[in-house]
Amino acid sequence: MASTTTHTDVPNSPEGWKKIGHQDNYWWWHLDHGFDLTRPATPGGSSMIGQIGLKATNSAITIAPQNTALIIIDTQNFFLSRSLGRTGDGHAAEEALLKFAIPAARKAHIQIVWLTWGMSEDDLKTLDPTTERIFSFDGKEKRRIELTTQLDSDSQSQKRAADVEIELACDGIGSEVGPVKLSNGKIVPGGRLLMQGQWNTALHAPLEAAFQEGQKLEKRPDVRFHKNRLSGMCGKMTSCTNFLRDNSIHTLLFAGVNSDQCVLATIQDANLQGFDTILLKDGCATNSPQGAQSSTEYNCEKSWGFLITCKELADSVGHEG
């Protein structure tokens, strides 16, 4: 159960503002202005110049672009390529990122971080059984990729309905995916499942183009980090977390796939480490059964921070610009 937030009156603070948190990690709150996540010594007035005001689903929030990062999780071929039968909400989330969130982040000089699966040989030696089980493991079961993930509306069953199924003939993380036929008819090696430097772990083509463009920026170029667990900010993985702290980034906008799995797991770990966590609800998606996306949104709004849309980010950045 979520604990009740305590508002602390601060001596000599501007009228109506209350401080939430502690001296090293705090927000300011005002009934009329919502939450100020920029951590100024004194809230309101000049402290909000150059900041971005956002309308979250349950409150107004203010963020500092220089202390903010857009974290895009697992937008890779394995999860988005139509050549592996991927269709649905993942592509709608990709479109929202490309049309609204990424251009807005670029305009506001918000750091963009791509956080994706990418195992090393050493990672395989310490792979925990829970993670290994997710992606098949026994040499007998074949990973099935459904062309759709809509629940059968005529059934209360939680079984996924699919008109067509494609068998991915591999035996879990590190095994060969096999040849993959692209939309242009070209056959490419899928590579070893979820390993670094493979076709299946490459960013999906439209997003790969955005990443390459972002790496050319003189100010705050895009960066990419590999992860070997559902969460990219758990205790075992410090590269992304260290980068954020080294660059004084404390507010994180989250997007990617799957919302209720890797995205949510990373949000939870980030939040528990003291970062502000905001979910871009139209910039993420899941292939889980019905209700998973709405449950993720509900908990991100109520327990893990705030909920906004990619368009709201773009509109707010445009207004500030």
Confidence of residue 208 (pLDDT cuts 50, 70, 90): very high
- Across 1-10, 26-35, 37-46, 48-57, the highest mean pLDDT is recorded for 26-35
Could you tell me the two tokens for 84? 């592996």
Is residue 145 a contact partner of residue 165, using CB atoms and an 8 Å limit? yes
Sheet holding 52-55, edge to edge: 17-22, 25-30, 34-36, 60-63, 52-55
**Residue 35 pLDDT:** 97
**Chain segment 244-277, per-residue pLDDT in tens:** 999 999 999 999 999 999 999 999 999 999 999 9
Residues 17, 44: contact at Cβ < 8 Å? yes
- Say how far residue 203 (Cα) sits from the centre of its chain: 14
Distance CA 112, CA 253 (A): 9
Cβ atoms within 10 Å of 39's Cβ, excluding its own: 18
**Stronger pLDDT, 161 or 214, i.e. the higher one:** 214
Task: Report, as an integer, the average pLDDT of 196-220.
Answer: 97
Residue with tokens 């209350």: 18
Alpha helices by DSSP H, listed for 223-309, are 239-246, 264-272, 292-302
Instruction: For 116-131, give the DSSP string.
Output: EE-B-HHHHHT--HHH
The answer to whether 248 touches 67, Cβ cutoff 8 Å, is yes
Q: Cis ω on the peptide bond leading into residue 67 (within 30° of 0)? A: no
φ, ψ for residue 259, nearest 5 deg: -50, -45
Say what the pLDDT of residue 237 is: 84
Instruction: Tell me how far apart the alpha carbons of residues 142 and 166 are, in angstroms, rounded to a whole number.
Output: 10
